[in-house]
Homo-oligomer: A and B are copies of this chain.
Amino acid sequence: MAGVSAATVTRALSTPDVVRPATRDRVREVAASLGYHPNRAARGLITGRTGNLGLLVPDLANPFFPSIVKGVQGRAHEADHAVFLADTDEDPAAEAGLVRKLAKQVDGIVLCSPRMAEPELRALAAEVPTVLVYRRVPGLPSVTAEFLDGMRQAVSHLIALGHRRIAYVAGPRTSWANRERVRSLRAVTRRTGVELVEMGTVAPQFHGGVSVADRVLAAAVTAVIAYNDLVALGLLHRLAARGVAVPDDLSVLGFDDIPLAEMVHPALTTVALPKEEAGQAGVDLLLHLLDSRKAVRRDLPTQLMVRGSTGPAR
């Protein structure tokens, strides 16, 4: 329609500087009027780049992940990439299969996989460019947060409020995030001389918090730090039902800062982890990896959000 060959159309659209301005404008004009966009599948066939990214999350129903998805999605679109989303339903076994299926159709993968074993992750990363989010494996590009610093902020806050004996409700033992949190917490409490009571592991969900609340109450602590906000909310729920005043009788502190945290009453004091930013950083690192073959690591800052669920120790 523009009276030029397909080759010139390609050049006019993707490398405009090499075609004569008059021709270029004519081609682009015609293309626009026809609503023509290059077929990305055909392009991918020859360039080897599909312009697609894969994103794997363990469970969208966990309010932590939609924010990450949002970040990935937004940044990917800015970089003119589309996003394949897969939810593994908390099944680490299914993850590898999903990644491999996706692998053929994407340039790279942003992987949120708190549970998958490290060797498996390495194997996957060798097959398809991969960036880990909220998971660190030596040698692989990853986005995480400064857990240690967040934990330091949380404990300092509690100490300032007069707490000296603190419980920790742990998440799944196999989860990397939980291991990190435990490690940080132990380090911080040892350094500050605070007494730490570890309550054992619960499901990282609302009902996990509900189920452990009575044991926390029996542990004679003045404050409790939960593995994440969902668990903290479960604690709050059960404590309210038992008539325990928060924060007067017990201070409750969460981790993540999911949107619900400030919607409940009392609002939850929590260590905010960057979520949307982590998603964006994941995409940045992935694109960087694709361009330069360099695996980078990024550690994002955390921030204690002081709300109503923590107060002076009795």
Q: Please report A residues at the B interface, Cβ cutoff 8 Å.
A: 35, 37, 39-42, 44-45, 50, 52, 55, 60-61, 63, 65-67, 69-70, 73-74, 77, 82-87, 89, 98, 100-102, 104-105, 206, 233-234, 236-237, 240-241, 259-260, 263-265
Contacts and interface: CB of A to CB of B under 8 A. Distances in A.
A249 to B, nearest CB: 16
Given A65-B66, A236-B265, A241-B265, 13 more contacts: A35-B100, A37-B101, A41-B42, A41-B105, A52-B105, A66-B66, A73-B85, A73-B87, A77-B86, A82-B101, A82-B102, A206-B259, A264-B265
Q: Chain A contact residues: over half helix, strand or loop, or mixed?
A: helix
Contacts of A237: 263, 265
A87 B104 contact: no
Contact of A45 (B41, B66, B260): B41
B263 A233 contact: yes
B63 A63 contact: yes
A49 to B, nearest CB: 11
Contacts of A234: 263
Contact of A60 (B35, B50, B69): B69
Q: Considering the complex of A and B, which 5 residue pairs feature the smallest CB-CB distances, nearest first?
A: A41-B41, A85-B85, A60-B66, A240-B265, A66-B66
Contacts of A69: 60, 85, 87
A85 B233 CA distance: 30
A42 B105 CA distance: 10
A264 to B, nearest CB: 6
Given A101-B37, A233-B263, A74 B45 contact: no
A83 B85 contact: yes
A41 B77 CA distance: 20
A18 to B, nearest CB: 25
